[in-house]
């Protein structure tokens, strides 16, 4: 026996997700489909009910062992034939001869895939729900926590940290919608034989398919080839890539805000034991956010082979098989993992409002130039005229290394534009937050209902 090679086996991923794609659970999904198949045959009168009962009883990893399936596959070089033979071996009273009756391998494989999709996406949806809840709590807590907004990496006008969190919460909410909306297109199986005609299933082919998939609580592929149409898989991986990209976006923001020269938030750090660097004792690195960013790129990397797998020769070739063994479990396990990790980061996030306030002061009032411009417009200035005045004032403040207030007061003395009280009010960041608080409250109301 060799040591694990893939980091998912020993480093990344939650136990619940990994079990869904483990050898034993995967075998059980295949056996569940085989059992549903024979019960469908019994319902339409193709085989005795006693036969279906016997096969159903033995269609369990209690009886059909992974090790035995591997032994048979080593001889047959065919994974599904190995499963069916291992199952048939366990069945008494000649019931084994009815195992896999009329089916082709991918009737079983793709239907088992759909069962895995059903269970794994439900867990991911639950992880997203927990993350959304955490973000809503942060939005509520920090709806008045003023910080500088940044575009192009530069200071702009004030926002609140709560507004940022509310935006993230709504992004997660949309991902939950996407997962829900693709269910009817994703949770689909097939029982239609080698090229989709169901010829080997006899006159009751369509009824058999309906009965088998109804029992498994899956939809029916309208028209299949040998496989379920892969546009469905494209959609799933696309949604997972979208979710993963949001996680990297959030993680990147935290990494940036944790930089020493900004220092507005930070990942939690276990002061007593956690080590940031093997050589620099002072380091407190955002390692979880960096892990999230790195793994999100791996998930997105699967989008290209997924789309290429949709291009099959005629009714199907085997090019999709090997790559899907990587794509499907890795994409689902890693997406769940980074959502789970992102929730831990936000739950324990250290937020520093005083540093946010201090950073607002770095630009010496320049982020409030728009506020003064707006005040001038309210006093009768044209928008272009007010913009040009504040542009010149801002440039002069930078050139002379003065605050915006100092330079504007000099201009105001000559032009008598605003009162001292009006200037002071316009320069207070907390007075120039627009509808931020109302927006946050609307988000909270929507997501907590």
Give tens-digit pLDDT for 191-201: 999 999 999 99
Check: CB of residue 293 under 8 Å from CB of residue 258.
Answer: no
Domain boundaries, the chain: 7-101, 106-358, 362-448
Give tens-digit pLDDT for 321-347: 999 999 999 999 999 999 999 999 999
Q: Where would I find the beta strands (DSSP E) of 288-443?
A: 350-351
Check: CB of residue 75 under 8 Å from CB of residue 38.
Answer: no
User: Left, alpha or beta for 263 (phi > 0: left; psi -120 to 50: alpha)?
Assistant: left
| Token pair in block for residue 240 | 């997972």
- Asked if pLDDT for residue 114 goes beyond 90, the answer is yes
- Asked if pLDDT for residue 205 goes beyond 50, the answer is yes
Topology of domain 7-101 in CATH is Fumarase C; Chain B, domain 1 (1.10.275)
Q: What are phi and psi of 311, to 5 degrees?
A: -95, 95
Distance of alpha carbon 4 from alpha carbon 243, whole angstroms:
28
User: Left, alpha or beta for 150 (phi > 0: left; psi -120 to 50: alpha)?
Assistant: beta
**Is-above-0.85 flag for pTM?**
yes
Distance of alpha carbon 9 from alpha carbon 436, whole angstroms:
44
**Residues 6 or more apart in contact with residue 404 via CB below 8 angstroms:** 364, 365, 366, 368, 369, 372, 393, 394, 397, 427
- Asked if pLDDT for residue 271 goes beyond 60, the answer is no
- Asked if pLDDT for residue 284 goes beyond 90, the answer is no
Distance of alpha carbon 241 from alpha carbon 307, whole angstroms:
13
**Residues 6 or more apart in contact with residue 141 via CB below 8 angstroms:** 162
Distance of alpha carbon 148 from alpha carbon 442, whole angstroms:
22
Q: Are strands 188-189 and 219-220 parallel, antiparallel or unpaired?
A: parallel
Q: What is the mean pLDDT of residues 386-413?
A: 94
Distances in Å between the Cα of 173 and the Cα atoms of 140, 181, 445 are 16, 12, 13
Give tens-digit pLDDT for 302-312: 999 999 999 99
- Measured in whole angstroms, the distance separating CA 100 from the mean position of its chain's CA atoms is 36
Query: 122 or 275, which is more confident?
Result: 122
The proportion of the chain whose per-residue pLDDT surpasses 90, expressed as a percent, equals: 93
CATH code for the structural domain at 362-448: 1.10.40.30
Distance of alpha carbon 384 from alpha carbon 51, whole angstroms:
85
Residues with a known catalytic role = 152, 277
Q: Which stretch of DSSP H or E encloses residue 154? A: strand 154-160
Distance of alpha carbon 312 from alpha carbon 229, whole angstroms:
10
**Looking at domain 106-358, which of 3.60.20.10, 1.20.200.10, 1.10.10.10, 3.40.50.2300 is its CATH number?**
1.20.200.10
């Amino acid at each position: 026996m060799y040591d694990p090679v893939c980091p998912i086996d020993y480093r990344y991923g939650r136990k619940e997700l990994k079990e869904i794609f483990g050898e034993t659970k995967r075998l059980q999904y295949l056996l569940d489909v085989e059992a549903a198949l024979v019960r469908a045959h019994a319902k339409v009168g193709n085989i005795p009910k006693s036969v279906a009962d016997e096969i159903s009883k033995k269609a369990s990893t209690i009886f059909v062992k992974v090790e035995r399936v591997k032994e048979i596959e080593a001889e047959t070089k065919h994974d599904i034939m190995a499963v069916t033979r291992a199952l048939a071996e366990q069945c008494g009273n000649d019931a084994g001869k009815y195992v896999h009756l009329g089916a082709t391998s991918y009737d079983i494989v793709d239907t088992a895939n759909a069962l895995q999709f059903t269970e794994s996406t439900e867990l991911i949806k639950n992880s997203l729900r927990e993350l959304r809840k955490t973000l809503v709590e942060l939005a509520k807590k920090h709806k008045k926590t003023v910080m500088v907004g940044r575009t192009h990496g530069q200071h702009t006008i004030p926002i609140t940290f709560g507004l940022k969190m509310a935006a993230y919460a709504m992004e997660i909410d949309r991902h939950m919608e996407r997962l829900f909306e693709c269910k009817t297109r994703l949770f689909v199986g097939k029982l239609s034989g080698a090229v989709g005609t169901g010829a080997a299933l006899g006159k009751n082919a369509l009824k058999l398919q309906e009965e088998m998939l109804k029992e498994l609580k899956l939809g029916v592929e309208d028209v299949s080839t040998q496989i379920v149409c892969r546009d469905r898989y494209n959609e799933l991986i696309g949604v997972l890539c979208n979710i993963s990209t949001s996680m990297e976006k959030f993680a990147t923001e935290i990494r940036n805000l944790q930089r020493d020269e900004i220092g507005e938030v930070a990942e939690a750090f276990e002061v007593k034991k956690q080590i940031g660097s093997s050589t620099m004792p002072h380091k407190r690195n955002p390692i979880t956010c960096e892990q999230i960013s790195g793994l999100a790129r791996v998930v997105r990397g699967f989008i290209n082979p997924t789309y290429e797998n949709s291009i099959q020769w005629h009714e199907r070739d085997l090019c999709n098989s090997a790559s899907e063994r990587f794509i499907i479990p890795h994409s689902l396990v890693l997406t769940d993992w980074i959502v789970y990790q992102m929730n831990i980061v936000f739950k324990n996030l250290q937020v520093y409002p005083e540093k946010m306030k201090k950073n607002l002061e770095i630009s010496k009032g320049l982020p409030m130039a728009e506020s003064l411009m707006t005040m001038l417009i309210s006093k009768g200035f044209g928008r272009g005229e007010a913009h040009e005045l504040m542009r010149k004032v801002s440039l002069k403040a930078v050139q002379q290394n003065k605050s915006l207030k100092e330079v504007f007061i000099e201009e105001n003395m000559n032009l008598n534009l605003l009162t001292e009280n009006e200037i002071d009010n316009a320069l207070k960041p907390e007075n120039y937050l627009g509808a931020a608080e109302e927006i946050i409250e609307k988000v909270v109301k929507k997501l907590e209902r």
